[in-house]
Structure 1
Amino acid sequence: MTSAVAATPILGFHHVAIIVSDYLRSKRFYCEILGARILAETYRAERQSYKLDLAFADGSQIELFSFPEPPPRVSQPEACGLRHLAFKVENIQSAVKYLAQYQIECEPIRIDPLTGKQFTFFQDPDGLPLEFYCL
């Protein structure tokens, strides 16, 4: 006797939340350099914290949070937790050149051995690993 398995209700991810050490620096990075659009900006006095809701052209979102004195991020390459955040790009060489205008260095472009797609890594102002992944 088999039972019917319900289809998953998950449609995809809505947002990624990032705690930043310098709110204004990270706001500039994600908005002015990476091109995120501000959906909402809220100051929560009881938490001494900003919450910034950002969106990209495809509808994906990032929430930036600021808290007083957040602990440093674990930085070992294979530490448990969020490994990296990947952004879709159509032309990886153009994306790398774009970041270079802002003195943001990318690792050498590599090829994903499983998909054959090009990718490279760079960092946000707090050292969070970010990736450009070519469609």
Structure 2
Amino acid sequence: MSNLKVLPLLEPEAPEAVVPCCPPLTERPFTAEEAERTARMFKALGDPVRLRLFSAVASHAGGEACVCDISDVGVSQPTVSHHLKKLREAGLLTSERRGTWVYYRVEPSVVAALGKMLGNLG
């Protein structure tokens, strides 16, 4: 009998819990937590490279893009990774590793909440 130990296959990373940002601006004043969360999202989108990456993911077929398909935004690969990390931390994107590539998806509930928040201003 062999002394080899069989290791279980690694499960894919669980999707990060994403919480929609906030109520419509016209509904009530934001709590401190809602304002902080929303500011992080707008700050993340306030960078032109991040906005281009976010747009590339959102407009990609199926609403999901491999980092290999969206990294041509005029900055180095490490910088692209940094910006994608900031978008994930802000709750705007989720990611999943498949083999050697990471696939990004726009978090629809958060984008819908941002749209609803701004939609009633007119």
For normalisation by structure 2, the TM-score amounts to 0.26
Q: Which has the higher helix share?
A: 2
Q: Which has the higher strand share?
A: 1
Greater RCO, 1 or 2 (C-alpha within 8 Å, sep 6+): 2
